[in-house]
Amino acid sequence: MGNPGVMSIPELSSALHELRDDLDRAELQAASLIAAVADRHRHSARNLVHYVTVRRRDLRPLQESMCAHGLSSLGRMESIVYSWIETVIETVDALAEGRTRHPIWGDLAGGVRTLTRNRDGLLGPVHPGGGDDAAADGSGAERGGRATRVMVTMPTEAADDPELVRAMGAAGMDLARVNCAHDGPAEWSRMIESVRALPGRVRVAMDLAGPKLRTGPLEPGPQVVKVKPVRADDGTVERRSRVRFSATPFDPGARLPDGIDAVIPVRALDHAMQPARLRLRDARGRRRHLEVVSVSEAGIDADSDRTVYYESGMTIDVPGSGSDHTLRNAARSLRSRRRIVVDELPEKRQHLLVRTGDEIRLQRDLAPTPATRTGPHRIGCELGEAFDDVETGHRVLFDDGKIAGRVREKLDDEIVVDVERAAPGGTKLRAEKGINLPDTTLHIPALTAADRRDLEFVAAHADIVNCSFVRSPEDVADLIDELGRLRAPDVGIVLKIETRAAFESLPQMLLEAMRWDAVGVMIARGDLAVEVGFGRLAEVQEEILWLCEAAHVPVIWATQVLDGLAKKGVPSRAEVTDAAMSRRAEGVMLNKGPYIVEAIEALTSILDRMGGHVEKKRSLLRPLNSFDIDPG
């Protein structure tokens, strides 16, 4: 007696023949789209059309029946759909006819080879300095370990620190990412010069900024740095705070020296000074005494058991007495310079404290607005076009979705948003934080005027351009036209998928991009999670991986990979698991941070170890309604 719900062999044969007929019809309907792509992508475009067609069906009943008969489950057919289905048809028909042998239809490994070729053409080889798998001859060929390339964002200090770039290369960086949203052509040039000096050929990818929606400026806060000791639960000091007074200008992104809680810049520090104590009144007027623990070329290190607020222009007294004869002599010789003056400190970043039920008024005017702790709050919006396209009732999300609201009223120069979700105690909203409008169709091109200017530099200096905010085939065509105008056929294209619209139009955008030679996709998981909802991010990420595998297009797994390690020196368990699963993509992007070299080393080690365990996936094939291909 057969299993209920399991198709018989003749029924399986009929269902598979019907599925193949669907593929033939879809290919005929999309013939003009397939013919428009570059010759080297023709097979990939055809396979993409086949895959989207297959995924319009619910294949789970077919999968279950095939597994019951010991046949392929179709869960690994992405890269070569037609041949895979033809081979399964041959197997099923052979069983139906009582044949003991049947032919393998087509080259079932051909899709994997095409994807590997496209990966290498866009992302290049594994860098010879990176990982245990790098070839000894410097060719960068894998030795059974890391097939996934590591892309690393260049910090600003890389422009003037070739040693940092060399350390990043030695740790395993395969591609250097330069973000055009930061710094400028002078800094970019110096970064790229250091990258080009690395052994092997580390490729350079440059991100165009795109028309990003961000909050406008807030009025500046005081120039203050707070330093406090570590206290036990009963208030006693467990560890005194330690600061270093240095003549080096303040650098908020610099890695702090070991044991130092803050570096305070001061004017004209005399390194011959040997004080035992320092005295000051902090920004609140509180008297404070600091014990000097060391004096060196780096500066004066001093401890305190009290909280101190340092501010620009503050004077620090150097007492002229000490218990040591040498210190007394040094103090007497410096009677004319017994004060240290604190140099410029950064302005304290201000914020709006937004609570559920508050009102946020987005302003077209970008003049700095005051920081407020209660609503209504006012803050500028850097993209004026949003005021034309947003409608009443549309959702508005701030700062990676930490604050969620809905448009109550739309005025000519103001959008009134009712806050529906914030943290229980309120959420801080600062300047230059992202704004997402998942319900709004913005009628703006992906390439801004600034992007078009930056693209001239990219075309002359980079190997890859990462295009932000692409949402349609027209955006991709615009980028290709610009690269053609700049005579840059060797610059690869990476489409950053960071909006719901981009996700839903991905098949059409891939077919448009295939008119170009080297093409890739980046899953920009930060904005994408906000747009589609955090609950759907994992699902959407999987669908992008599947679709790109069907198109033989390499994927870069990006946003917050090992972020805790890069920024704080310690990863979370979830970050390590996420990094391990990134092995299924062809590239992984790390962002910048004080511990970026350690993050690169950790990532390459994880990818090496996962190389023998993970290769793409096997999945249940429920229908995907997100994608479609309209031949027009």
SS3 at position 310: strand
pLDDT at 626: 67
Confidence band, pLDDT 50/70/90 cuts, at residue 442: confident
Instruction: Find all residues with CB under 8 Å of 527, minimum gap 6, and list them.
Output: 400, 434, 436, 498, 499
3-state class (DSSP) for residue 604: helix
Burial 331-358 (b: 16+ CB within 10 A, else e): beebeeeeebebbebeebebbbbbbbeb
224-341, CATH topology level: M1 Pyruvate Kinase; Domain 3 (2.40.33)
CA pair distance 491, 518, nearest whole angstrom: 8
Residue 204: per-residue pLDDT: 98
In this structure, what are the phi and psi dihedrals at residue 288, rounded to the nearest 5 degrees? -135, 140
CATH fold group of domain 352-436? M1 Pyruvate Kinase; Domain 3 (2.40.33)
- Counting Cα atoms < 13 Å in the Cβ hemisphere of 518 gives 21
Q: Pick one of 3.90.226.10, 3.20.20.60, 3.40.50.170, 3.40.50.2300 as the CATH number of 445-551.
A: 3.20.20.60
Residue 280 confidence class, pLDDT cut points 50, 70, 90: very high
pLDDT one-digit tens code per residue, 333-382: 434 447 889 999 988 889 999 999 999 999 999 999 999 999 899 999 98
Taking alpha carbons only, the member of 349, 268, 264 closest to residue 309 is 264
What crossing angle do the helices spanning 42-54 and 110-123 adopt, rounded to 10°? 120
In the prediction, which pLDDT does 101 show? Answer: 56
Give the strand pairing for 464-467 and 492-497.
parallel
Domain with CATH 2.40.33.10 in the chain: 352-436
Q: How far is the C-alpha of 79 from the C-alpha of 118, rounded, in Å? A: 12
H/E element holding 538?
helix 534-550
Of the candidates 557, 555, 548, the residue with the CA atom closest to the CA atom of residue 575 = 557
> What is the pTM (predicted TM-score) of this model?
0.79
Provide the pLDDT confidence category of residue 321 given band limits of 50, 70 and 90: very low
Tell me where in the chain the CATH 3.20.20.60 domain(s) lie. 445-551
For 41-59, what is each residue's pLDDT tens digit? 999 999 999 999 999 988 8
Q: From the CB of residue 129, how many other CB atoms can be counted at a distance below 10 Å?
A: 22
- pLDDT, tens digit (0-9, with 9 covering 90-100), for 145-178: 578 999 999 999 999 999 999 999 999 999 999 9
Q: Give the number of other CB atoms < 10 A from CB of residue 321.
A: 11
What does R_g of the chain's alpha carbons equal in angstroms?
A: 30
Tokens of 46: 């055809």
Whether residue 539 is predicted with pLDDT greater than 60 in this model: the reply is yes
How far apart, in whole angstroms, are the C-alpha atoms of residue 308 and residue 210?
Answer: 42
3-state secondary structure of 19: helix
DSSP per position, 375-424: SSEEEEBS-TTHHHH--TT-EEEETTTTEEEEEEEE-SSEEEEEEEE--T
Between CA 572 and CA 565 the distance in angstroms is: 8
Cβ atoms 276, 322 nearer than 8 A: yes
